[in-house]
Amino acid sequence: MGAADPVPPPDLDDALVREVLEEYGELTRRHLRDVLPRGDPASYLYDLLGEYPKRGGKLMRPSLCLATARAFGASPEKAIASAVSIELLHNALLIHDDIEDASDERRGSPTLHAQYGMPLALNAGDALSLLCLRPLKSNYTTLGPSLALRIFEETERTAWETAEGQALELGWRRDNRADLDDEDYLVMVLKKTCWLATIHPMRVGALIGARHAAPLDPLIRLGFFFGAAFQIQDDLLNLQGGAAYGKETNGDLLEGKRTLMVIHALREAQAEPRRRLLRYLGLPRPEREDHETEWISSLLTRTGSLEHARQVAKGLAGAALYEFEQIFGHLDDSRDLRFIRAMITWAQSRAH
């Protein structure tokens, strides 16, 4: 799309995002169901594997993979196995994240460990992350050994980046770190969120669509700006809560997470409220009282931290749109290209 093309109004963008997420999401869910094994022990393992996938989710990751592959000229059949693998890995990591964060809710229901007990949930997370390798095997026949091996290695790298990012977030919390700045946050989010949410789906899609010929490094930049905008909006929505969000309101505060808003408030608040915020973040979760959580939440507004985060997310989305034009601008216009572009705007403006 050149600079002279009319930019579609946002409501049309939102409708496109909804439409494609629904179509590719349904395709992914159908194939995912076929990959989920049945067997014994059902109530101790196999029932658990399907629980999070069954609850829905936006299926943003597999949809981005399918759309990128298609934008580069591949049919969805070539990319669906990789898309399913991405969604399985995402669900596996959610199970372990929820244990690590001691979260209560996921997709509007109790977390897996709340439902089945921590030990069985942890074990199911291990099995599900193993299962994500299975669909990748069919790539050997549909895409050939070289591309299949490459996608396998991309998956391994992504899981590794995610583990590094998760380690940062968990370590900062354990040590109640107060010495972090926006750059620390963005490095953490690049690893914890962006690799799996945006970079990996688009890289794998590009590999399948352009068969090694697409430039993959720029997709790290695009995915970083895009994914970070998505994560900041996610953190902002967490402070709002609401039924559509599917997780506890203020869950991030209750879990002591270092979001961009918290880091900003630690930087901007006066000495006394800063001490109170840091004390709150360092408490064991059960000792965080509701009225104190409310007070922290209002502090984040007073220090301008919410507004700061909104501005950073907007800036990141803008940078992502610029990168998008550099990478995809020369391709023929298509619904898939318009979807990816619309997703970038949606990521930092969405209401859930």
# of chain residues touching its own copies (CB under 8 A): 36
C-alpha span between 162 and 54 (Å, rounded): 23
- Which residues in the 93-122 window bind its own copies by CB under 8 A? 96, 99-101, 117-120, 122
C-alpha span between 179 and 189 (Å, rounded): 17
Minimum separation from the CB atom of position 171 to its own copies (A): 3
- The residue range among 8-16, 129-137, 204-212, 282-290 that interacts with its own copies, by the rule CB under 8 A, is 129-137
Minimum separation from the CB atom of position 156 to its own copies (A): 6
Contacts for 150 with CB less than 8 Å, ≥ 6 apart: 207, 212
Minimum separation from the CB atom of position 89 to its own copies (A): 11
φ, ψ at 6 (rounded to 5°): -70, 135
C-alpha span between 143 and 257 (Å, rounded): 41
Please select the residue that binds its own copies; options are 10, 12, 26, 44, rule is CB under 8 A. 44
* Residue 166 is a binding residue for its own copies (CB under 8 A): yes
φ, ψ at 256 (rounded to 5°): 70, 25
**Burial environment of residue 159 by CB neighbours within 10 A (0 to 12, 13 to 18, 19 or more):** middle
* Residue 163 is a binding residue for its own copies (CB under 8 A): yes
* Residue 249 is a binding residue for its own copies (CB under 8 A): no
* Residue 307 is a binding residue for its own copies (CB under 8 A): no
The identity of residue 127, as a single letter, is A
| Nearest of 246, 248, 255, 252 to residue 286 by alpha carbon | 255
* Residue 174 is a binding residue for its own copies (CB under 8 A): yes
* Residue 313 is a binding residue for its own copies (CB under 8 A): no
| Nearest of 327, 80, 316 to residue 218 by alpha carbon | 327
Please select the residue that binds its own copies; options are 170, 216, 283, 321, rule is CB under 8 A. 170
The widest CA-to-CA distance across the chain, in whole angstroms, is 63
**Nearest residue (CB) to its own copies, 108 versus 171:** 171
C-alpha span between 156 and 159 (Å, rounded): 5
φ, ψ at 88 (rounded to 5°): -65, -45
Dihedral sign, CA of 153, 154, 156, 161? positive
* Residue 144 is a binding residue for its own copies (CB under 8 A): no
* Residue with the two structure tokens 């949410």: 197
Minimum separation from the CB atom of position 43 to its own copies (A): 7
Please select the residue that binds its own copies; options are 1, 36, 114, 159, rule is CB under 8 A. 159
**Nearest residue (CB) to its own copies, 122 versus 216:** 122
Please select the residue that binds its own copies; options are 21, 74, 86, 124, rule is CB under 8 A. 124
Q: Which residues bind its own copies (CB under 8 A)?
A: 39-41, 43-45, 96, 99-101, 117-120, 122-124, 126-127, 129-130, 133-134, 145, 156, 159-160, 163-164, 166-168, 170-171, 173-174
